[in-house]
């Protein structure tokens, strides 16, 4: 693995796991009232676009990071709908 790919994977991992505490917090508190649905939907849509872009250019770091982020961001949307 070259340094560019390694850096991309590291960046993707760090920005992706940044969403995990939010998912856990909503899940535990059963409250998502402070989150903006507009922001969540906009962000999730943007992540989906990045995922499609990653697939189009065949970039493993972009694909992995955005696939996992899409799942976590989607969970935030679902939790907002349930607990918002």
Number of independent structural domains in the chain: 1
64 located within any domain: yes
Q: Would residue 62 count as lying in a domain?
A: yes
At 38-76, the pLDDT tens digits run 998 999 999 999 999 999 999 988 999 899 999 988 988
CA distance linking residue 32 with residue 82, whole number of Å:
8
In a domain, 19, yes or no: no
pLDDT at 67: 95
Per-residue pLDDT, 8 = 81
Q: pLDDT class for 35, splitting at 50, 70, 90? A: confident
CATH code, domain with 69: 1.20.1280.290
pTM for the full model?
Answer: 0.78
Average pLDDT, the chain: 89
Q: How far is CA 10 from the centre of its chain?
A: 15
Structural domain for 51, as ranges: 35-84
Nearest-angstrom CA–CA distance, 31 and 12: 27
């Amino acid at each position: 693995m070259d340094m560019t790919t390694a850096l991309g994977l590291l960046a993707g991992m760090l920005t992706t796991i940044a969403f995990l505490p939010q998912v856990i917090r909503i899940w535990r508190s059963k409250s998502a009232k402070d989150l903006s649905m507009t922001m969540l939907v906009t962000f999730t849509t943007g992540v989906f676009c990045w995922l499609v872009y990653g697939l189009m250019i065949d970039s493993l770091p972009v694909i992995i990071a955005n696939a996992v982020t899409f799942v976590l961001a989607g969970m935030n949307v679902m939790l907002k709908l349930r607990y918002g």
